Amino acid sequence: MEGREVNSFAMNSKEHVLVTGGAGFIGSHLCETLLEQGRSVTILDNLDPFYDVAIKEQNLARLQSLGKDLRMVRGDIRDPDKVREAMEGVSGVIHLAALAGVRPSLERPTEYWSVNLVGTQTLLDALKGRPEVPFVFGSSSSIYGGNEKVPFHEEDPVDEPVSPYAATKKAGELCCRVFHHLYGNPVSCLRFFTVYGPRQRPEMAIHKFTRLIDEGKKIPMFGDGESSRDYTFVSDIVKGVVASLDRRVDPGDPSSGFRIYNLGGSATTTLKGLIDRIASALGKEALIEQLPMQPGDVLRTFADVSRAEKELGFQAEVPIDQGIPLFVDWYRENKGRTQA
């Protein structure tokens, strides 16, 4: 057996969950679900100004208005004192706080390494001596870099990331693996494939394209429009995250203590197809400015989710043709309050 004894838990024993990055896009949806399930939630988030802080404040206000058991610790995941404070009494940790996004990581690689790696290790350090607490890490499909074999499987090589962001996520997974090996906590690393839905980060393609088309402005389209992505609606991601928190580690299979899961829609959409769908949902024309491919971008992502299906019961339920109109409806209702 590798590492220390593997811990096994009953479903739903994680009644008090720490969510780092809970004020952000995915985190705020996740917290809402956890609170609605009757769990206590502590958020650790520093409301980083990567995009408009008012959006994160709105997310928090919305969570507070649910009137459930929510505690907010405003602080940095690299600050051991804040992390200790946030960890008090929790029975599960879901770590989503990060500097996200591929392109900005080319401009600020050192900050990305600092937050995404030192922050992750600081959280893990604070879990030492609490082997019963499971740790769920928000990783990324960007880890697969320029891999040509599709769909991407968790056992495929991921040694050639093409952006600092992807490299920090790969390094984060390694920190998690080492921590599990040494201390036995159940760990799940979740490779999210481009997540979208209400409250999506304003700089992400779907949100940005929707805004530009709506305002009659040109869309910068990098490449010939044939690059493709596996898009995942945020409610599907949340289901996968919660299932991985609650998953039972099999005491007869020590390797199950550490698991990597792809969470994706398991379908691909070209960039051109995405723009067409957004324009059609808005009932407006897309004006396209074609530009060269950007360094750091990958040509395609496509998730093999068979492991998550088998072990987490994960299945994406919102296909892109439903998800884009849902996003556009949300955009219309919130226009003006969600701009970066």
Ligand X SMILES: NC(=O)c1ccc[n+]([C@@H]2O[C@H](COP(=O)([O-])OP(=O)(O)OC[C@H]3O[C@@H](n4cnc5c(N)ncnc54)[C@H](O)[C@@H]3O)[C@@H](O)[C@H]2O)c1
Instruction: Give the tokens for residue 187.
Output: 């760990």
Question: Nearest distance from residue 28's CB to ligand X, in Å?
Answer: 8
**Chain centroid, CA 145 distance in Å:** 17
Question: Nearest distance from residue 10's CB to ligand X, in Å?
Answer: 27
Question: Nearest distance from residue 325's CB to ligand X, in Å?
Answer: 19
144, 165, 196, 331: the active-site residue: 165
Residue ranges of alpha helices (H) inside 247-319 are 271-282, 306-312
Q: How many CA atoms lie within 13 A of 235 on its CB side?
A: 9
Give Cα separations from 252 to 10, 145, 256, 257 (angstroms): 15, 34, 9, 10
Question: Nearest distance from residue 23's CB to ligand X, in Å?
Answer: 4
Any bridge partners for residue 154, and if so which? none
Q: Phi first, then psi: give them for residue 74, nearest 5 degrees.
A: -90, 115
Question: Which CB sits closer to ligand X, 6 or 305?
Answer: 305
Could you tell me if 301 and 270 are in contact, meaning their C-beta atoms sit under 8 angstroms apart?
A: no
Question: Which CB sits closer to ligand X, 100 or 213?
Answer: 100
Question: Nearest distance from residue 115's CB to ligand X, in Å?
Answer: 4
Instruction: Give the tokens for residue 19.
Output: 């969510």
Q: Is 165 a catalytic residue?
A: yes
The C-alpha atoms of residue 11 and residue 14 are separated, in whole angstroms, by 8
Other C-beta atoms closer than 10 Å to the C-beta of 62 total 13
Question: Nearest distance from residue 253's CB to ligand X, in Å?
Answer: 27
From the list 96, 100, 115, 99, the residue with the least C-alpha distance to 28 is 96
Give Cα separations from 173 to 53, 130, 169, 246, 305 (angstroms): 28, 19, 6, 19, 18
Per-residue DSSP letter, 294: P
Question: Which CB sits closer to ligand X, 79 or 132?
Answer: 79
Strand 269-270 and strand 228-229: pairing? antiparallel
Site residues for ligand X per CB under 6 A: 21, 23-27, 45-48, 50, 56, 76-78, 96-100, 115, 119, 138, 140, 192, 194-195, 201
Active-site residue list: 165
